[in-house]
Amino acid sequence: MQLSLTQLPSRTLLLLLLSNLLLWENVASVPMCAARNGRCFVSLEDMFYFAGTFSHEVSVEISTLFSLFYAVLLKSVNTLLIAWEHPLEHLVSTISTLRNIPAAIISKARRVKEKNTSLHQGFNSIISLVLRGDEKEEKYPTWSGLASLQSKNEDARIWAFYNMIRCLDNDFKKIDINLNALK
């Protein structure tokens, strides 16, 4: 049977707390307990003091971890946006060269182009405030798909566009999730 914390008598809880405190890495900073009749006593006040100190330290570390992670998300958005700059430009400008392409697709591509500009502007103003210069210049994957978008073989071109739009969809979903999480 497992005992939940609430079922443990408070004395046992205190002993558990004490043994954990002594096991903590920072044992050196824990003052010696008072020896009485050959036994070791640490006051409840001291226990609270140590627990409080450690909880504060852990909380500070977690806040730092969180703010560092914030930059990881921002940098990942930055990398994706930069990586898509040229491919998206080519995709939008060459999609109309596909034979029998529905007008709805062309007008959607135009909308993407317009909104892309606003997205870049908005995001650039965020990173100019938040990221340092060297953090903005992330390495990003180079794109080598232009030839397949311009292939003479119409079927190959259709596949190239299809695959590219699928990746675009994935990556911009990531951008959306990351930016809205950061918001």
Ligand X SMILES: *[C@@H]1O[C@H](CO)[C@@H](O)[C@H](O)[C@H]1NC(C)=O
Residues that bind ligand X (CB under 6 A): 85, 88-89, 92, 113, 116-117, 120
CB of 46 vs ligand X, minimal distance in Å: 59
Nearer CB in complex with ligand X: 79/116: 116
- What's the min distance (Å) between Cβ of 86 and ligand X? 7
Q: Which residue is nearest to ligand X (CB)?
A: 120
Report the alpha-carbon distance of residue 71 to residue 178 in Å, rounded: 11
- Compute the least distance from the CB of residue 118 to ligand X, in Å: 9
Q: In terms of CB distance, is 59 or 97 closer to ligand X?
A: 97
Q: Which lies closer to ligand X via its Cβ, residue 49 or residue 140?
A: 140
Indicate the residue among 89 and 135 with the shorter CB distance to ligand X: 89
Nearest distance from C-beta of residue 92 to ligand X, angstroms: 4
User: Least distance (Å) from ligand X to the CB of residue 85?
Assistant: 5
For residue 78 the two structure tokens come to 């930055």
Judged by CB, which is closer to ligand X: 21, or 109? 109
